[in-house]
Structure 1
């Protein structure tokens, strides 16, 4: 995507902060609090070891500032005041400390730089009743996280609708992810191993593994039938039949989450990819303001039934497949989730500002979003069709087994399965914005 003019970026960020200030003041008033303190988090260490895990900042912190490698820092948000950032920049010759604050964002904060975590404490002592957001181990003196739900619930509920600044960052993350996905497909065409394909992905997006928003799923052949396949074989298989890559990138803490499946030219598997591609695009088109996301999920099972019947994998009426649960053998996960600062962004089940839960459809326990879509929401649409041995074994024990072309299933099982995932923004009116497809289109 084209670079954004610095003035335009500043205006988007300014409007973003104004919206976060408005949401925060609303939440504080509802909860009876006077100020919001947000801990960035602390570095955590392996048990009985001095090696730290990769630092994961509090998402509430990076909602305000584009900082993802900054433990021990704090934000102080008060009605009628400029946001205060207490920025910890240690003097350290063992590690690279955070750079001095700079960039488009700094002028929007009362910026205080300290050298030690404990030096932040005086700047957190503000009058009134404090809502303090963070993990328990972020406590500093008498500043102890209390995470009041009466403040967090309205903030989490509102966060589903993205600002213009957030949409910009999500587009940038999609652009990085699309570039890397094309590199992984080229590596697959060269017959490389899962590990080598993963490294090609990292090289293309310019990330170290620690920088990824989630662990890459790089699955060759039957490994694609493992939904969250977590390994990467060092050796390439004797024959590379298929590649499923579920991987993203991030821009200033905002994630992309993209999945593509590539075949080796086998006609029956390519027919499956093509059918799933068409089904996925129809599901994407359902992302409209006022649509219940649960209905999109249920529609994904109808689409799955249609693909199974179209390709002759299951010779049953589509309604019968749904009634007998056949589609759940081949599509055992939800159609998607909210996306933003977190890959599975928070608030997907919330009934409203006061909390509460919107139930998942009966028989669909793995759906991660049950809300009615509203403008600004960014969701994933990720239908899949897999050949998972343990689920196929259960299907064999049902009356529906007589209608399955088991020879075709055996052939396709060597390819593992198909998943196609796009990141999609809901608009005020009309068709959604497909961040993922737009990113690929700009590269081809």
Structure 2
């Protein structure tokens, strides 16, 4: 849809406001609602002012020194949000409302370098210089609860009631009582412009997965962000709370497997080679080798929070090592498909991953392998989760931060500003957690210490 459709819908009384939204460091949509006449007359072409701190906060919207944008010491000034007309859509779950995703620029028109959307665009531009494009799909899982968000908050997120009573993986009957909400999510995401492929119940009680068709990488990241935003809204309207956090409890975590393939700018497949014994082109072999080589240093962009690493633990059916395999779900890099559909499935990111940053990391890793023609080791033949000889992923945010900050590859790929900014985001997460008193500490020490 375009702004011409917006003019038509506004004249007909169907749309009365437009949300101009910026994806933040956590991959959430932040922004403002604009009256349609004001949006069309000014913001659509000239941009809309928003406070710079939106790209320098933790999940609680706290900012401070150490970020590349120091809002306190620069007076909490503004940058401009320039709407990307290609992202314009109407929101079925938000009455008379349209939404457009924006890019952040400084007043002189230069991009804000630490904006997640800009970081992904830079890597896509690098791909284009090689005559390549990226197509991606993300598979998001979430947990649904009978409790509302308000009830969950009042209960301090304890003793919540999962929306199913047991493992309903692939079960057709187990989520029948949830269909009013799930049907709305599926239907209204399609109405908002996403292309639904599959949906099913998952392993953890209350867990569900909805998969949308792959698209150009930036479009997939935009749709991913819109999906999370809309799904939470619909769940709240239906009297449910849902969470995408990677590890809610000791049960199965919420993953965000990312499928990624490359094509030539003319649409031809470049990863497949039907004459090769394994069906993979030399370019694909380098592409996978780059994923393995860069994985320790880029993990911070795939698993950005303390909770991310609770999912990436032994026995959690999530990757813990650095290896690859053909249709092997115990490996972080799983190769599947053939011909046009030949692709990698990257299994490290969880439901908290920022899709722009995660895709940027995967594309940059692949380019590292291609540009340096890295050799690919043999695929792992069996259970990589149980193989002690496989090199390990960073197992904590502290370890991932160390790899990120000391990596020449990170600095070379993303530059000093981005490296420092996202290191500060991780450090803020760690500092906040270290100051918190957990339930584990109270149970362990209240009476006995």
Q: Per the shorter chain, which TM-score range?
A: under 0.3
Give the structure with higher Rg (CA).
1
TM-score (normalizing by structure 2): 0.26
TM-score, normalised by the number of residues in structure 1: 0.27
